[in-house]
Amino acid sequence: MKRQANIACPQASFAWVGLLRSLTVLVLVFIFAPTASAHPQKGEAIGFLNGFRHPISGLDHVLAMVAVGLWGAQLGSPSIWLLPVAFPMVMAVGGMLGLMGVPLPGVEYGIALSAILLGAAVMFEVRPPLGIAAALVGFFAIFHGHAHGTELPAGQSALLYSMGFVIATGCLHGLGIAIGTLHRWPWGQKFLRVAGALVSMGGLFFMWRAVA
In this prediction, residue 29 carries a pLDDT of 44
In this prediction, residue 154 carries a pLDDT of 81
3-state secondary structure the chain: CHHHHHHHHHHHHHHHHHHHHHHHHHHHHHHHHHHHCCCCCCCHHHHHHHHHHHHHHCHHHHHHHHHHHHHHHHHCCCHHHHHHHHHHHHHHHHHHHHHCCCCCCCHHHHHHHHHHHHHHHHHCCCCCCHHHHHHHHHHHHHHHHHHHHHCCCCCCCHHHHHHHHHHHHHHHHHHHHHHHHHHHCHHHHHHHHHHHHHHHHHHHHHHHHHHC
Residue type (1 letter), 51: G
- Are 99 and 149 in contact by the 8 Å Cβ rule? The answer is yes
Per-residue pLDDT of the chain (212 residues; tens, 9 = 90+): 444 444 444 444 444 445 445 444 444 443 444 433 333 344 456 889 999 999 999 999 999 999 999 999 999 999 999 999 999 999 999 999 999 999 999 999 999 999 999 999 999 999 999 999 999 999 999 999 999 999 988 878 889 999 999 999 999 999 999 999 999 999 999 999 999 999 999 999 999 999 98
Sign of the torsion angle spanned by Cα atoms 43, 37, 53, 149: positive
- Whole-number Å distance between alpha carbons of 70 and 38: 38
Q: How far is CA 175 from the centre of its chain?
A: 11
CA atoms lying within 13 Å on the CB side of residue 100: 15
In this prediction, residue 21 carries a pLDDT of 52
Q: How many CB atoms lie under 10 A from the CB of residue 151?
A: 16
Quote the pTM value.
0.79
In this prediction, residue 150 carries a pLDDT of 94
In this prediction, residue 45 carries a pLDDT of 66
In this prediction, residue 44 carries a pLDDT of 55
